[in-house]
Structure 1
């Protein structure tokens, strides 16, 4: 596996505790954010401030606009961005505390995240601008978040470079992995929108009449993933990645049990 992608498979489970771990979900519910998506949109968008739906739709990319509009800006009448940041940090740190993460891993990840170039990467930049938490588990979580949003921002760039919109990206992935049941509902697209996106991909020769990826579609997808890896590589330069892999693997493997499979993140089962 490409080493940059391997690192993503290790940091993504650590970041994802904020969405799936019971401790993190409980932290959101304690401040009145009941329901998965209220916590998701409040926590992930909070570094941007009290934004409306439009920039979040653009940056989160794969969500249908109406799904984002149901959450924003209404969510800021329930919790301030500052309180959402405190809540997500407390919940994530609590979730990581019992899963074998170390101060050494936190320091290595923080060094990598601190060196990430965030020009043109709004989600990474917003998270990178937050102060370093004193608690090592919170610091580790924020570092993984900066690095995964850095990769995610680059992934959006790769998709846009390929002329792919948010719905098409999901249909394209379904054509390869067969995950429509997981992807469509979790991102809010209607059957009509999904079918229209598939028709656009078919016109490019990337899917066939049954919605399966063609050889050309698979090749284009592979190039897009390679570009994503290339765009994600910069923060890891100078990092002792072998040591980091050794430190993160036990925690990442343990955390796979709190993540649903299949999942919209594209994370493979550990």
Structure 2
């Protein structure tokens, strides 16, 4: 289900119409829009809570954006900018699909999102507390966002249990790709060369990375553990929705997710594969 609702959410980061909405609201530069839009449900917070919640980002990258971004836009305006941008994007993406199918998908996704357990899940809770819009395309994006942030909070918890820090999580990801992608992931998350090297050393000391910077069998096993725990922690909404309704939701979401995926950057920092 993550492969189907994540592309719907992720248009807010990568689609030109979504990025343009933040620029229209007065935010120049990708990262200002990213941080303002994603943490707006928390209110005009300082960097501290966002460093904790966003996890994989270097603290200095967060402090460059916050709280300065709130001198340029209010959280309320940022919420509206992300709604406008995602609505423009997804509206075009689903224009050739039957409206009743889009509305049914939105209703099922909302039904799942309304059941999320937000205990200990800061970003999931903040998005779940927002009022629901009326337009089916807006509902579709908001439901995907609630489910996405709910799952992400659980993923952070799974990483914490395995004692994997923010920088280590990025180094580990690259190691799992046989060392490929550092030039992409390191700057996207703001870690310095020294921080990257130190995290690599800690992973090597755990036996997760070999002398060539590639993941060991132990690292792959730990990856399966973290992903399995993340999936279990994210399963609640789909259990509540039930197998038949979940299967119908997946059927309806697939063509929407494919169209949304075409608007994303591949590869992307969130690790979402291209759907065809």
- TM-score with structure 1 length normalisation? 0.96
Report the Cα distance in structure 1 between the residues aligned to 2:187 and 2:264, rounded to whole angstroms. Answer: 17
Partner of 2:89: 95
Q: Is contact 2:262–2:274 with CA below 8 Å preserved after alignment?
A: no
> In the TM superposition, what are the counterparts of 1:1-270 in structure 2 within 5 Å?
7-100=1-94, 102-177=102-177, 178-239=180-241, 240-270=245-275
Q: Unaligned stretches of 5+ in structure 2? A: none
Partner of 1:4: none
Q: How much does 1:202 deviate?
A: 0.5
2:45 aligns to what SS in structure 1? coil
Q: Unaligned stretches of 5+ in structure 1? A: 1-6
Report the Cα distance in structure 2 between the residues aligned to 1:260 and 1:27, rounded to whole angstroms. Answer: 18
- TM-score with structure 2 length normalisation? 0.94
Q: How much does 1:179 deviate?
A: 2.2
Q: Is contact 1:113–1:147 with CA below 8 Å preserved after alignment?
A: yes
Q: Is contact 1:179–1:262 with CA below 8 Å preserved after alignment?
A: no
Report the Cα distance in structure 2 between the residues aligned to 1:86 and 1:232, rounded to whole angstroms. Answer: 27
Q: How much does 1:237 deviate?
A: 1.3
Count of residue pairs the alignment pairs up? 264
Task: Could you list the structure 1 runs, at least 4 aligned residues long, displaced by more than 6 angstroms after superposition.
Answer: none
Q: Is contact 2:115–2:240 with CA below 8 Å preserved after alignment?
A: no
After superposition, give the CA deviation of every residue in 1:200-250 in whole Å (9 maximum; x if it has no partner).
000000001111000111111111111111111001114212111111111
Q: How much does 1:159 deviate?
A: 0.2
Note the aligned Cα RMSD (angstroms): 0.9
1:235 aligns to what SS in structure 2? helix
Report the Cα distance in structure 2 between the residues aligned to 1:126 and 1:39, rounded to whole angstroms. Answer: 18
Report the Cα distance in structure 1 between the residues aligned to 2:109 and 2:202, rounded to whole angstroms. Answer: 40
